[in-house]
Amino acid sequence: MKNIRSLGYLVIVATLLSSLLAPLSFADNSLTDAEASDGWALLFNGQDMDQWRNFKTPNLSDKWVVENGVMTLTGPGGGDILTKKSYKNFDLRLEWQISEAGNSGIFILVDEEGDKIYSHAPEIQILDNEKHSDNKIDSHRSGSLYDMMASHPSSHKPAGEWNQVRIVFQDRFLQVWQNGVMTVTISLDSTTWDSLLADSKFGHPFYSLFGDWEGFAEADHGHIGLQDHGDPVSFKNIKIREL
């Protein structure tokens, strides 16, 4: 009986230790006390989209909805959206989930001087890498600096799964991680950038027939944008810290 009682105590102690040592989990779309003290701010609180609006309009399409703590574009016609606030140096983190064969993107340095949200704004690609036709070009797969720098396949997850992205932009130096894997690191004022830009649709003379790229990525500040590429896409845990 004594041995059984001792074994029971050991089980209780082991359970308590396991719960204490397990990673802490926090509610979606919230900040820890440490994050709040460090200057992090939520761009989505899980309840409304008050910090967002459509490109070149003060309003927000009703095709962008909030359900169960997730921001979702339900279908085509919702339009590209951007933060109401503009940012210069920042650490941005978010999670995204793309629909099957879907396409979307995250923009930085968004202005509203061009015809499109991507006229002057670099894009971090969101894609179903397995089923969307854009998967044939490696710099068009998820986590890539669109049409310029390709992400490593180890950063990819199938459609329907949540992906974590971190974008750090400071003094025009850009770093991107997707699912813990660094996918982009580059200075926007470097000769490497100049070469990548010249070889991309944003710098190639032929593609100037299809868009107004003059001034692409030349700003040192701008809005954060999310793309309507006609496919359902969801976001949560969007937070930013100004540097």
Residues 216, 219, 224, 230, Cα dihedral to 10°: -10
Residue 223: strand pairing partners: 110
pLDDT of residue 29: 98
Contact 146, 184 (CB under 8 A): no
Q: Is the pLDDT of residue 24 over 70?
A: no
* CA dihedral (228, 170, 178, 37) positive or negative: negative
Tell me the pLDDT band of 14, cut-offs 50, 70 and 90.
Answer: very low
Mean of pLDDT values over 175-204: 96
Mean of pLDDT values over 211-226: 92
Name, in order, each residue with C-beta under 8 angstroms of 209's C-beta and a sequence gap of 6 or more: none
- In the chain the domains, ranked by start, together with CATH numbers, are 26-242 (2.60.120.560)
| Long-range contacts, stretch 56-64, CB < 8 angstroms, 24+ apart | 56/112
This prediction has a pTM of: 0.88
